[in-house]
């Protein structure tokens, strides 16, 4: 059965994975339009896939900052679903265009303002900091505010269908459905045991990555946010197929939605592994001002230091052939079943070189791109479809979990794991 057309906005490392996975699923995605500001990237991927997939692939140029351009493209292409894999800065413009056209929306990361010095944005942000108690530049409030408009339009917005956020939240819903009556503690752990051989590089967009890890950490405990200094809380964990690694507590977006959607949860933390070389380079860059997001004058023109740094660093999409090792990403849940306390660890291990052999990517792009395809597929098929704005944990986790096993991200359930202190 020929299902319909998907419009995919963006053509970076994650998008390349999602596009290739969609193209192999022509019974759902019979047509794919790839749109980006740099249409040459779209054309190159279309050429790579020519003759190897059944799906019809077209390309288009679009400025994802421009609602009118996006709206015109969606009206022209008439997709059933728009999969937004552009920058988080562009989430709201793409959502506006989907509303204007009555088309379902899927993304992998929540909205983040590009200009954090904009007075109107700053006023709202500072009020949220006071009221909520965390200072991260990204949060779900901007997208959750669209709930009523999407409901009235009769269309679905599925937020955060990557790995973290995304799969980690589906793991949470699955654990609650099948293993617990109530979950009290969630520790989300993102371990990248890969080695790309460079002194310093980021595994996804440097601008987003470096802003995230140099910011204050925070976790949810007893109904409120507890904020920490950057990299203040460090733990060590022995990850299956990777080994013992240092990991650090960060603020991460799925904490915010899980705190809302997992009833009875007492604490949610997010940890990510980093090697000492990465941390040393990052601190040095921060100290000399290279992580600044505000413009500075240089030789008569304005430049944004972190954007200049992005141009100097290796493109994350180029890391595939040289990255070896594995990722291990999952969640440890502690809660109650039939009156007894228990713990369960659900995780996925992904091999960088296997990802490269299959799709020419490294595992960080793969583990985000595959869930993006799965989320879009479930919305397209009507399995996850209702009017409004939703995070992935608000739907039945079972079809998503089955799809993870089918499309390259098999998961493991370990009972009574070693807990994180």
Q: What is the pLDDT of residue 2?
A: 58
**Does 405 map to a domain?**
no
What are the tokens at 137? 């530049």
Q: What is the pLDDT of residue 336?
A: 98
CA distance to 198, 257, 396, per residue, from 260 (Å): 40, 5, 16
**Does 89 map to a domain?**
no
Per-residue b or e along 342-377, where b marks 16 or more CB atoms closer than 10 Å to that residue's CB: ebbbbbbbbbbbebbeebbbbbbbbbbbbbbbbbbb
Handedness of CA 211, 212, 213, 219 (dihedral sign): positive
Q: 263 lies in which domain range? A: 167-359
**Does 192 map to a domain?**
yes
Residue 317: name the closest of 31, 45, 34 by CA.
Answer: 45
Percentage, residues of the chain above pLDDT 70: 99
**Does 114 map to a domain?**
no
* Tens-digit pLDDT profile for residues 284-338: 998 999 988 889 999 999 999 988 998 898 887 787 788 889 999 999 999 999 9
Ranges of residues in the chain with a pLDDT under 50 are 1
* Tens-digit pLDDT profile for residues 201-223: 887 677 777 777 788 999 999 99
Do 189 and 329 contact (CB within 8 A), yes or no? yes
Report the CATH number at residue 345.
3.30.360.10
* Tens-digit pLDDT profile for residues 351-372: 999 999 999 999 999 999 999 9
**Does 251 map to a domain?**
yes
- Counting the structural domains of the chain, the total is 1
Q: What is the pLDDT of residue 161?
A: 98
**Does 96 map to a domain?**
no
Residue the block writes with tokens 């946010």: 225
Residue the block writes with tokens 């995780």: 347
Q: What is the pLDDT of residue 1?
A: 39
**Does 408 map to a domain?**
no
**Does 382 map to a domain?**
no
Q: What is the pLDDT of residue 203?
A: 72
pTM of the model: 0.94
């Amino acid at each position: 059965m020929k299902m319909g057309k998907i419009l995919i906005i963006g053509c970076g490392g994650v998008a390349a994975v999602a596009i290739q996975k969609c193209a192999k699923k022509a019974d759902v995605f019979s047509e794919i339009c790839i749109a980006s500001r740099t249409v040459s990237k779209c054309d190159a991927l279309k050429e790579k896939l020519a003759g190897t997939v059944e799906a019809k692939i077209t390309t288009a140029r679009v400025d994802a900052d421009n609602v009118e351009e996006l709206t015109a493209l969606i009206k022209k292409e008439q997709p059933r679903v728009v999969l937004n894999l552009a920058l988080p800065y562009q989430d709201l413009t793409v959502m506006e265009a989907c509303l204007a056209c009555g088309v379902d929306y899927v993304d992998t990361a929540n909205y983040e303002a590009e200009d954090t010095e904009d007075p109107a944005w700053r006023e709202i942000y500072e009020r949220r900091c006071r009221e909520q108690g965390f200072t991260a530049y990204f949060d779900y409030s901007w997208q959750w505010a669209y709930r009523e408009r999407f409901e009235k339009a009769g269309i679905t917005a599925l937020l955060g269908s990557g790995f973290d956020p995304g799969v980690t939240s589906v793991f949470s819903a699955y654990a609650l459905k099948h293993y617990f009556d109530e979950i009290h503690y969630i520790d989300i752990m993102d371990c990248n045991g890969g080695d790309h051989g460079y002194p310093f590089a980021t595994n996804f967009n440097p601008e987003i990555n470096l802003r995230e890890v140099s910011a204050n950490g925070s976790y949810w405990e007893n109904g409120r946010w507890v904020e920490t200094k950057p990299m203040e809380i460090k733990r060590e964990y022995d990850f299956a197929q990777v080994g013992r690694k240092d990991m650090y507590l960060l603020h991460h977006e799925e904490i915010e939605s899980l705190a809302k959607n997992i009833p009875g949860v007492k604490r949610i933390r997010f940890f990510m592994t980093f090697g000492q070389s990465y941390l040393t380079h990052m601190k040095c860059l921060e100290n000399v001002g290279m992580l600044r997001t505000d413009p500075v004058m240089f030789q008569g023109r304005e430049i944004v230091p972190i954007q200049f740094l992005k141009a100097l660093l290796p493109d994350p999409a180029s890391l595939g052939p040289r990255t070896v090792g594995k990722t291990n990403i999952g969640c440890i849940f502690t809660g109650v079943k039939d009156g007894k306390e228990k713990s369960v660890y659900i995780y996925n291990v992904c091999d960088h070189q296997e990802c490269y052999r299959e799709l020419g990517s490294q595992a960080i792009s793969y583990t985000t791109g595959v869930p993006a395809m799965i989320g879009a597929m479930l919305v397209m098929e009507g399995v996850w479809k209702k009017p409004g704005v939703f995070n992935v944990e608000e739907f039945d986790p079972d079809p998503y979990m089955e799809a993870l096993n089918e499309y390259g991200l098999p998961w493991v359930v370990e009972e009574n794991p070693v807990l994180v202190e």
